[in-house]
Structure 1
Amino acid sequence: MTDTPPPGQEPIEEPIDAHFEPAPDPLPVKATAEGPGWGGVAIAAAAAALLGAAGGIFGRDLILPDKTDALERQLADLTAQQAEFERLIIEMPEASDELSSLIGEVSANSRKLNELLASGAGIPAVESLTARIAALESIEPGEGATPAEALRTITALEARLAAMETATAAAAPPPEPVAEPEKDRQAEAALALSAIESAARRGTGFEADYRTLRAAAPSNQTVRRLAPYTSGVPTASRLQADFATMRASVTAAAKTDAADAPESQLSWLNRVFGDAVTVRPANKRENPVTVALDASSKALAAGDLSASVKALSPLEGAAARAAQDWTREANRRITLESVLEDVRLSLVEPEN
């Protein structure tokens, strides 16, 4: 403090006794936030993203609806034009080939027509007219016909030529030579029968050749007898090969029948020794099954299929049933060969 008194007062002579106390410490000031914080930033960003997405979804058609439709139409038109161009490119080689062929044909026909008109050869009417015109032109004015007569003659010639051309155009073309159908059918039938006989020798079917033979000889009733055998019939060599299997089956079936029959005093020998021992009656009468099989085998080896089948006729019971399949196929072979012979004769001497 100063010792100088305020204006208008007297100065104080005595010293001023004053005591000073220290001032209290200032209160702490709360820290204030320097910014809005990360949470606010995140919320604001999410809100902005949602607003932008909504604007993109709902505002696209509001902003450029007409331009979008126009672009789509232009894209569709361009796609159609591209497809048309591709089709034209693919068809261009074929059209070019056809056009070249047509141009070549037209050129050839034009060349032939020009040559024909230039020469007139090969057309009797044109040659006759040319000769008469040349004869008329060679006549001198004072030698014979007058110009009026010559004009009448030329007019008559032109009319005659026109009539000849009309008649030629209206005339039917000459008939083509027609082959005699009867001879063609006979040749076709002979070829079909030859193919059927070849298939029969091999044991294979002949359906197609049979249909051809029927078409070539529709009224021949003997041909129809081949129908049951068109699928094929075993050959004689195949029947010989199958005979051994059939014989074993027949022998086994005969033994079964013998086992079911009343036993004789010596039947135990057959059961014990089998085929190694053959028991015969005292009167030398052999087993009828064995006799039939031996006779059939001998006839088959000699090539007599009919006798081979006939030799098996005495078989009875299970033995006959065991030989039934082989016998049926053998009879089919016999019948087929007989029918083929009849068909051959019917084609040589047609039926009435």
Structure 2
Amino acid sequence: LPAEVAYPVDILEDSPEGHQAAAQAYYDSLRERAPTAAEIFPLPTGEQVKLETSSLCFCTVYRDEPQHKILVLVSPQDTKTVVAVYLKESWWSTEDVLRTSDPTRKGLMKVRSFGERIVLFILNVIIFGKLERSLDDEDMFFLPHPAKEQAKILWRDGAAIGFYSTKMKGSLCGNGTNACYQLPVFDTVFVRKKCRRQGLGTAMLQDFCDTFQEEEALGVSCPISPTMYQVLRQFLLACPAHRGRLWEVEPPGAWGQRANIWLKVYLQEARLPEGSIAQPGCTGEDMSRPRQTLQDDRLVQCDHGESHKVEQWCVIPWPSSLFCDLLAFV
């Protein structure tokens, strides 16, 4: 694409219904065409994919509003891999959907427009959920965010490279319940593989804490993986003012459903012999294997999907006075 061409996030109107109607009309037109008249979509890899209904499907954009869908093109070799999205009466590769021609899009920016919701969906469901997720017995599919989920996208060098979402204080914990979150909760987060090991996980935590400066207590969705604890440890060592604010929480986050993260980090390290070395795979922000767990009616990603290299660190004896201070948090 020419450099001056705007990308979908820059030009999509805030009209999910209108967009879906256009996508449905296009899909219906393909069904009426003769097989020999199939168009070709060229992938960045050089592969060419036929635009025919057998290679197309509609994906639900929002978990709580299944009527809103987008039309996607899948790879003939792997029907679970989305290679392009139909937007503004044109096909765009998934990488181009994540790009922007707006120079003001940089850093962490709140998701506001329909176009940004599409970018969040692509990062969440397609990039993380299908392409960059480690598949093992503990992993589960990552569901789309609700339509009004509070989230921020991380923009750098003209492209979206990550996101984090927040459960807002006072928002419902899930469908079928009247319980509401009693504090803001750092819920899902992801950074693309190519951008990991650059301290972006701790940067997102800092942004989360700064966003809710007036709140005395902030949550991080339970359970927290060992690698995420290392990110939190690094963050809290560098920012002691937040040690009494961050809590591992289960919905809705009442006092009986909270555990102080700084205290848990201390107790975890106190169980290691003095002078021992932490396991190499759990240093710094080594979060290359995002995980998630089913909680209520939602999936919670527990790792932050990016890494920051730290050579190694030693467990240092903690003074008893610090332990007493930590106990005061619970």
What range is the shorter-chain TM-score in?
under 0.3
Q: Which is strand-richer, 1 or 2?
A: 2
Q: Which has the higher contact order (CA 8 A, sep 6+)?
A: 2
Q: Which is helix-richer, 1 or 2?
A: 1
Length-normalised TM-score, structure 1 = 0.15
Length-normalised TM-score, structure 2 = 0.16
